[in-house]
Amino acid sequence: MKIKLFVLYGGKSVEHEISLRTAFTVLGSIDRDKFDVYPIYITQQEGAWCCSGMQEHARTTIEELVMEPEFTSATESMGSVLLRYVSGEGKKVALPLLHGSNGEDGTVQGLMELLDIPYVGNGVLSAALTLDKVVSKQLLSQAGIRQTDHISFLMEQWNEEGHSLLNRMEKSLGYPVYVKPATLGSSIGISRCEDRAALMQGIEHALRFDRKIVVECEVAGREIQVAVMGNERPLASLPGEFIHRHRFFDFESKYMDKELVMSIPAELPSYTMERIREYAIQAYRVLCCSGLARVDFFLDSDGEIYLNEINALPGFTGTSMYPVMWERTNGTAYSELIEKLIDYAFMRHADRLTVQYAR
């Protein structure tokens, strides 16, 4: 009997569009001989759940993935989808492809735990940790992993003591700096700032998307990425990097530039390559990850390695770095990679079932 695969995408998040791109590629690559596929679209404004049943064939355009909810209420729509499609008998697994808030942050993962449904990717704790740049930096720092110098603060702090914060940032970080929302990805809300006016503007821009802000000093050098997958015994891919002409690799650069070139493996000394892979696995374990993650590093001109961030749900289109790194590391094809991640989901769920809840 085929496995019921519930693919969640869209979501109440500023990264809604990225989720649609990921879902379009994934849904087009799933082996329908092995899985009964149920796409579940979550609207951007209300967070309403939509499902039209099992999808026998992949859609031909991204626009076809967008559905109209039967109920606009998130509660009613979620209950309807869960009762009508998810609660039935049979072996089942969820594949959350929700980038950013309300999906990549542990919320949907918690729902799957309550429903006792295996799901692909990181658990509640690791999803929350990895999405929050401030908390993850604190934990990685305690583990002795080198990172860029940074300062973080809340909206209330900025409103009450903005001038002193500016002085502190200029004294300890200098310019240029990067301003980032603490709990977003895809370079949304990020600004590169070379003076105080730009810094103030960048902070106000980032506060549109988050109440917690991170300001980091710039590391001049290369951006190196590593794909990691697995549960207790994670594996790290060969490192890769994008060759590009952009000073700041922002949202438009990542997703609109047709001239990006992947270099996999990245041209690195063997010693540096292995250190980066080791740091990637160490960070993966420190943040309690399982299933998959992409770990991003900076490499400066002196060969020093700085961990930038860890992404618990990296881009997963056919041209995203994560799947391509695995294909060039050990020949794992895109559809095979999805099935491996599903296997990890079942293994983690089986481990969880060994825990008893009564004495």
Annotation: binding site? 296, 309, 311
Report whether the peptide linkage leading into residue 176 is cis, meaning its omega lies within 30 degrees of zero.
yes
Beta bridge partners of 179: 191, 215
Asked if 136 and 143 touch (Cβ cutoff 8 Å), the reply is no
Out of 15, 104, 216, 218, the active site residue is: 15
CA dist 165 and 269 (Å) reads: 40
Residue 2 is classified by DSSP as P
Q: Alpha carbon 220 to chain centroid distance?
A: 24
Catalytic, 186? Answer yes
Out of 13, 136, 186, 191, the active site residue is: 186
Angle between helices 196-206 and 155-172 (to 10 degrees): 150
Which whole-number Å values give the CA distances from 326 to 70, 167, 241, in the listed order? 39, 44, 13
Asked if 224 and 299 touch (Cβ cutoff 8 Å), the reply is yes
Report the SS3 class of residue 21. Answer: helix
* Numbered residues of the known binding site for Mg(2+): 296, 309, 311
Asked if 22 and 14 touch (Cβ cutoff 8 Å), the reply is no
CA dist 50 and 69 (Å) reads: 5
Matching residue, tokens 């997703």? 255
Asked if 290 and 344 touch (Cβ cutoff 8 Å), the reply is yes
Asked if 337 and 323 touch (Cβ cutoff 8 Å), the reply is yes
* Tokens standing for residue 309: 């961030």
Catalytic, 15? Answer yes
Which residues make Cβ contacts (< 8 Å) with residue 134, sequence separation at least 6?
A: 152, 182, 212, 214
Residue 147 is classified by DSSP as B
> Quick one: which H or E segment has residue 288?
none
Out of 77, 80, 152, 320, the active site residue is: 320
Catalytic, 320? Answer yes
Task: Return the active site residues.
Answer: 15, 186, 320
